Amino acid sequence: MQNSFQKLDPVNWDTEDSPYGEEMEMYRQTVRTYFEREVEPRYREFEEKGVPRNVWRKAGEYGILGATIPEEYDGPGANRMSIMVAAEELGYAPSGATAGSFIGTDICTNFLVEFGTEEQKRKYFPGILSGEVIQAMAMTEAESGSDAFAARTTAVRDGDDYVINGSKIYISNGSKADLIFACVKTDPSQRAKGMSIILVEGDTPGLTRRRMITQGYKGGDTGELYFDDVRVPVSNLLGEENKAASVFVNTVALDRLQIVARSIGAVQRAFEMTLEHCQNRKLFGQRLIDFQNTQFVLAEMEIEIRVYRAFYNSLLRKVADDTITDAESSMAKVWLCELEFRVLDQCVQLWGGQAWMDDHPISRMFTAARVQRMFAGASELMKATIARRYV
C-alpha cells in the first residue's frame, strides 16, 4: 500500500491560499531577478558611498519602481500588494542587508497617488518610474523619535512660499533623495493637528545633509537633514495644511507591514541557506544535519516561520479589503520582527565562526535584523497601541 504521507519540502513556503495572486507572483520574479543580476554582484560597492544611481535606474528599467502609479500616468497601476512583494524580496536578497531601505521608500509613491495634485503627479511620476527620482520620508527628529507628531521642524507661510527650518535624522535614503516628504509643523500650537507634509526637492537652497554610518544597512544612504530657511512654493504642500495625520492614516499599517514583509523574506532566505549549510557541513565525520540538536533547532525555526507566514497572509487579506486595524498591524510588527532577530541568531549559531565574519551574508542579515524592531515605530510604541484597547 502506498504511503499516504507526503514528504514535506521545507523550503517551499508558498501555500495554495496565498493572497498575492498570479500577477503579483510574476512581479516577484521580476524583483528577484533584478536583485540577483544587478544588486548581489555589486553590494560591497555600496558601503562607501551608498547605492549608486545607476542601480536605481536599473530598477526603473526592470519596471519595479512606482508600481502603484496608475496607468493614466504611464505607471503599472498595480495594487498595494506590490509594496509587500518588493519588501519581501528586499529581505530575501542577502544584499538587502547592505542596501538598507533602498526601494522600500517607494511606499512614498502612495502619498502622491492618493493626495498629490495633478501638477505634482505629472512632475514626479516619470522620474519615480525611471529611477531618476529617489524618494525619502523625513519624519524622525533627534528629540521626537517614534513620536513623529512631536517634531519641531517648522514651515512658516511667507507669501506664496513656505520657509522651513529644523532638522531630521535617521532618514532612509535621506543622504541621496531627490524628493523629500518633509513632515513639518505648520501650526506649532498643535500636535498632530498642526502637522503638514511638504515636498522638498534635494537641490533646494538651504537644504544640507550628511550621510550617516549605521551598524547594519551600511550602504543604505541613511541621512541627517538640515533645513535652514529652505523656501519652497505653497504648491509643494501634499494634501491639506495641518492634515498630515489624515495623509498617514491609510499608509501607517502598510508601512508597518512592509517592514514585516521584509522580515519574512529574510527569515525564509536565512533558513534556506542554513539548512543547505547543515546538509553539507561535516563535523566529527558526520553531517551537521545528522545531529539531533541541529534537527530540533531547524524544526523549531520552520514551525515558527510557517506560523509567521500564516498570520502575515491573514493580514494581507485585510490590507486588500482595507479592514486591517492599527492593533493588528502593531501585533505583526512586534511579533514578526522579534522572530526575525531570533531566527537569525539561531542561524548564526549553526553556521559558527563563518557567520561571525562581516563578509558572510548571515552575519550581515543578523546585524540588519536588529533595526527592524525600531523601524516604523519601536516595539514599545506598538505594544502601547495594542494596549490602548484595554483601558
pLDDT at 192 over 80: no
Average pLDDT score over the chain: 90
Q: Give the chain's domains with CATH numbers.
A: 22-134 (1.10.540.10), 137-242 (2.40.110.10), 248-390 (1.20.140.10)
pLDDT at 289 over 60: yes
| pLDDT band at residue 88 under the 50/70/90 scheme | very high
Residues in the chain: 391
Closest CA to 146 of 386, 384, 374: 374
Per residue in 301-333, pLDDT (tens digit) is 999 999 989 999 999 888 888 888 889 999 999
Say how far apart CA 174 and CA 152 lie, in whole Å: 18
| pLDDT band at residue 256 under the 50/70/90 scheme | confident
**Which residue's entry shows cell 523574506?**
265
Amino acid 335: pLDDT? 93
| pLDDT band at residue 255 under the 50/70/90 scheme | confident
pLDDT at 118 over 80: yes
Per residue in 13-67, pLDDT (tens digit) is 665 567 888 888 899 999 999 999 999 999 989 988 899 999 999 999 999 999 9
Average pLDDT over residues 287-302: 95
Residue type (1 letter), 303? I
CA distances from 216 to 126, 209, 368, 369 (A): 32, 20, 5, 8
Amino acid 14: pLDDT? 60
Amino acid 333: pLDDT? 92
| pLDDT band at residue 148 under the 50/70/90 scheme | low
Q: Which three cell numbers stand for residue 90?
A: 528586499
Say how far apart CA 162 and CA 225 lie, in whole Å: 17
Amino acid 5: pLDDT? 35
Average pLDDT over residues 129-156: 86
